[in-house]
Amino acid sequence: MSFRLRNDAEKWFNEIEGELGLKFDIYYFCLMAGLAAVRRSPLTAADKPAFVDDFPGDYKVQQNLLLGGLIDAELRSQLGRGIGNADRPIVQKVVSQLLTASGASTHLSSGPEGGATRMNEYASGGFDVLFEQIPDKPRRLETFLRSYAKVIGDLESERQKAEDACAA
Amino acid sequence: MRVNENVIAALKKAASDSGQPKEVAQRLVAWLDDLATGSVDIASQSDAWTRIAGLLEQVKLPTDEAELALILGEE
Amino acid sequence: MVQVRLLGWKAAGLRCPDHEIDLTRAGGEPHHVSLIQMPNGTGKTTTLELLRAALSGPSAWPDSVMLGEYAPRGATGRGTFEVRLRVDKRRFTIEMALDFDEGKPYYRTTWTSSVARFTRPPSLSRVLTPEFTPFFIFDGEMAQDLLDPKKTRARQALEVQFQLSNLLRFQGYLDEYWDEKSRNVSAKGDKGLTQRKNKLADLTKRRDRLKVERTGLVKKITDLEARHTKLDAEYKARFDQDSKAQEEREHLEKEFERAKDNLATIATSSLSEARKPQNLSPRFTRGLQALRDNLDRLKLPESAAKEFFDELAHDAHCVCGEEMTEARKASILARRQNYLGKEDMGVLNAIKGAIKDMAGASPESYREAFEANLLRLRNAVRERDVAQNELASLEQRRLAGGDAELSTLKTQLDDLVRELDTARTRLSVLDMDDDGDQGDDTDSIKALAKKIKRAGDLVAEATQTRDIRLKTTILKRVISAAVTSASERIAQELVAATNKRLEGILTRSPLRVADICDSVVLDGQTRGSPGQTLALGYAFLLGLFDAGQVSLPFVVDSPTGALDKNVRREIAELLPKISQQLVAFTTSSEYEQFVPVLDRAAQGDVQYLTMFRLNDATRPLLDGLASESVALSANGALVSSKQFFQGFDSEAYGESQPARAA
């Protein structure tokens, strides 16, 4: 199992899909929103199976950064903070849980706790965020890119504020 | 102790009266014969279903829709 | 005709006294008649029932409660009952063991070889069944029952012997087969099929209509586009009649095209930049950098891999130089869990490298560069919008100039564009992808195609189901008709055979059978004398056995039962005539007017056996008996002597019937 997209996400993006060129673009926009908001939600059996098995096109170059982002998000979610000196075992555990060297070419492990499922959940959670933050479905790429960048920026400052409040 | 001739004759007649090919009667007689010789057990459902599947292939359906409806209506 | 003879039986550990009965004469042939006298309470009925169960096989025992009733009072363990038969010239033995602890019967049969199950000679497969044994092992009421219209004994006997019961069971199987095949099918009847067919027809009609509409739309769009091109050219030509306006229009249009191209280029580049995660989010980049630093700090991936510990653990000596023990080995392998595998280390190193190479600079710098790109994008959008607005206002000004024809052309052009838009929108609806959640009233041709396929499958399924229904119904009808007509013919033959036999037996006042329906129906009179009735019952059963090509022994409990002494005489004369082998259980009350007459009728080939429980009251009876005529068991005695039989008063030694479990 590799990258899966929610049916409603695919539908929401359908007017700019032609301009995007890659279906993975939709997945990526959702994923980055999910990682920025640290939000996950499960897919259901009603959602379509994997639409692509590997990072396509330009994204192959970004593969390692996205994997790193997933590990970072997962560690933050489990530790509730940055990594400390005593966290070596948990880092090893998370890394071996999410990644596989010998399995898929994505290096994402399979199974219900594996990296592929986890990444799909962040993409799914990210779509929820986009749907909440952007009132109209995207109709033109040039408009969407700008509103999307703004949403990511807003999510970041929100997270920052929340973390500052926690730290204070 | 094979199948009684009266039973064989009755099955043949009943099949032909219902417009069924003689294979239908033959298969029913063969079933009785196998039971009589002890080759199969009447309690064996799997044997029964295999035989029924074979029997159903032999059964001819009337082409007239009204007649079909009549048969189903009996049930 | 298969000759079946009962040679004897043996009982141990059961509710009746342990005993062994041998029905044969010196040469090994069974006696024509064997009389077994037993006081009440000795287990006469029990013995008869056990005999029937042994001959019927395991299906005679529907439940463990019933089986428990055959245990001796308060006893557990096993009881055994063995029956010896001769089938033509060969021995056939049935051993039945009743396990009272398990509540289960166990059978062992010896025919061609000894097997631990109930295996009958094929020629007896219909006879040795729970349904049929009651027709040759029975009590004095049997003959009466055959004539009783309220009971269906005659019909049962006929159905079993002629396999009509098997045919009726086939019908049961047909019902079960149908139930199974239609269990997961929602549309079982004709109505369901009709509904499904209608739905398929509706969907197909809708799809066909939409396809026609689509063809029309495509043509319409082509036409409209051609008209649009033409009208647009006319409009422009008219517009350009003002040469200054023409110049301005050409300039603005060029400008507009340039702005659009520019926007497209910048949008492509923005998308390409957006595909780099470090550009979108400084926070993401910061997280990556922190991850890399932390991994370095934690020395991850470590210099040693899991595999290193595997090697250490399997060395002959520990790294400390000591001998490798199981404890040391376990301790090394436990540490292994804390390390990554070699290949995982490679992946982690690649991630660290990518973070350094692609996202190693200041996190904000990436986003700032991206923001600059987005700003260019915003400007390009504005530029395009400005060019578009200028074109629009030029047109406004030109139209305001009072050229009526130009205005008309403009109105026509606008109408045409609107019409084109409507047509294109409608076409896009018809060409919509199937997202799986559209209703049957969808206008998506693709979605309808899928629905039609599904509906077609359902129609096929319902058609198949209906065919099974029809065919099983027809088969059941064939079977019913065959059973009815076979019953009639067989009954006629049996009537003739029974009457023929009766003529031979009841020479003085012959009784005639008219018909065999549920019971045997007499000709003219509704009742014969008890003796006649009995004769008729036996004649009917013999006719039945004949038709089945089998000669069976009769085992009868109290053959004259409660009958009048005069009648007993008649029956005693009859019984040896109508049976090849007769085994009768009697009490001394049946002796008078019966045994002596029977002895004479059987020309002396009668075996006299007396069986009783051994207790203080019966023990003195054994005094003075020749030892070879007495067989003793732990709890019973069997005496083979005509003289003892005649003198034995079974009523004096009777015991009250022990209560049976309900």
Least CB–CB distance from C177: residue in B25, B49, B61: B49
Q: Which amino acid is at C327?
A: A
Report yes or no: B36 and B3 within 8 Å, Cβ to Cβ: yes
Bigger pLDDT: C660 vs B61 = B61
From chain B, the residues in CB contact with C482 under 8 A are 7, 10-11, 13-15, 28
- Correct CATH for C2-136+552-652 of 2.40.50.100, 3.40.960.10, 1.10.287.70, 3.40.50.300: 3.40.50.300
pLDDT in tens, C86-132: 998 899 999 999 999 888 999 999 988 888 999 888 778 778 988 88
Report yes or no: C253 and C260 within 8 Å, Cβ to Cβ: no
Q: Which of C272, C284, C378 to probe by mutation at the A interface, max A CB count within 10 Å?
A: C284
C-alpha dist (Å) from residue C510 to C142, C520, C524: 20, 16, 12
Which ranges of C275-325 does DSSP label H, i.e. alpha helix?
A: 277-280, 282-297, 306-313
Burial class (CB in 10 A: 0-12, 13-18, 19+), B69: exposed
- pLDDT of residue C143 exceeding 80: no
C275 and A CB contact within 8 Å: yes
- For C50-59, C210-219, C554-563, which range has the lowest pLDDT when averaged over its residues? C554-563
- For C49-53, C70-74, C285-289, C384-388, which range has the lowest pLDDT when averaged over its residues? C70-74
pLDDT in tens, C555-580: 998 887 767 777 788 788 888 887 88
Report yes or no: C620 and C558 within 8 Å, Cβ to Cβ: no
Q: Rounded distance, CA C650 to CA C517, Å?
A: 40
Q: Rounded distance, CA B23 to CA C580, Å?
A: 41
Q: Rounded distance, CA C162 to CA C125, Å?
A: 12
Widest CA span in chain C: 156
Q: What is the mean pLDDT of chain C?
A: 87
- For B28-42, C430-444, C608-622, which range has the lowest pLDDT when averaged over its residues? C430-444
- pLDDT of residue C244 exceeding 60: yes
Average pLDDT for residues C285-298, to the nearest whole number? 91
Q: Percent of chain C, pLDDT > 70?
A: 94
Bigger pLDDT: C611 vs C515 = C611
Buried b / exposed e across C543-582, counting CB within 10 Å, b at 16+? bbbebbebbbbbbbbbbbbebeeebbbbbbbbbbebbbbb
pLDDT of residue C57: 92
pLDDT in tens, C4-46: 999 999 999 998 899 999 999 988 899 999 999 998 888 888 9
Q: Percent of chain C, pLDDT > 90?
A: 44
From chain B, the residues in CB contact with C550 under 8 A are 1
Report yes or no: C491 and C162 within 8 Å, Cβ to Cβ: no
Q: Strand C104-110 to strand C636-640: parallel, antiparallel, or no bridges (unpaired)? A: unpaired
- pLDDT of residue B71 exceeding 50: yes
pLDDT of residue A1: 57
Report yes or no: A90 and A79 within 8 Å, Cβ to Cβ: yes
Query: Which residue ranges make up each domain of chain C?
Result: 2-136+552-652
pLDDT of residue C532: 77
Q: Rounded distance, CA C245 to CA C400, Å?
A: 13
From chain A, the residues in CB contact with C374 under 8 A are 145-146, 149
pLDDT of residue B1: 46
Measured over the CA atoms of residue C192, residue C197, residue C203 and residue C205, the dihedral's sign is negative
Instruction: Find, among A115, A156, A138, the residue nearest to A32 by Cα.
Output: A156
Rg of chain A on CA atoms, in Å: 16
Q: CB atoms < 10 A from the CB of A121, how many?
A: 18
Contacts of A151 (CB under 8 A, 6+ apart): A33, A129, A130, A133, A134
Q: Rounded distance, CA C215 to CA C234, Å?
A: 29
- Which parts of chain A sit beneath pLDDT 50? none
Least CB–CB distance from C166: residue in B13, B42, B52: B42
Between the ranges C370-379, C445-454, C652-661, where is the mean pLDDT highest? C370-379
Q: Which two tokens stand for residue A72?
A: 């970072």
C and B interact (at least 3 Cβ pairs within 8 A): yes
- Which residues between 341 and 400 in chain C have a beta carbon less than 8 angstroms from any beta carbon of chain A? 341, 343-344, 346-348, 350-351, 353-355, 358-359, 370-371, 374, 377-378, 380-381
Q: CB atoms < 10 A from the CB of C243, how many?
A: 8
- pLDDT of residue C164 exceeding 80: yes
- pLDDT of residue C188 exceeding 70: no
C and A interact (at least 3 Cβ pairs within 8 A): yes
From chain C, the residues in CB contact with B43 under 8 A are 59
Q: How far apart are the first and last CA of chain C?
A: 41
Bigger pLDDT: C329 vs C254 = C254
Between the ranges B60-74, C55-69, C498-512, where is the mean pLDDT highest? C55-69
Asked whether the whole model's pTM tops 0.80, one would answer no
Q: Rounded distance, CA B8 to CA B49, Å?
A: 21
Q: Do B49 and C173 touch (CB under 8 A)?
A: yes
Q: What is the ipTM of this complex?
A: 0.95
Q: Rounded distance, CA A112 to CA C6, Å?
A: 71
Q: What is the mean pLDDT of chain B?
A: 85
Least CB–CB distance from C287: residue in A21, A69, A102: A69
pLDDT of residue C125: 79
- For C136-150, C172-186, C570-584, which range has the lowest pLDDT when averaged over its residues? C136-150
Q: CB atoms < 10 A from the CB of C466, how many?
A: 22
From chain A, the residues in CB contact with C284 under 8 A are 32, 35-36, 69
pLDDT in tens, C529-548: 777 777 788 888 888 888 87
- pLDDT of residue C148 exceeding 60: yes
- pLDDT of residue C442 exceeding 70: yes
pLDDT of residue C659: 44
Instruction: Find, among C390, C401, C388, the residue nearest to C238 by Cα.
Output: C401
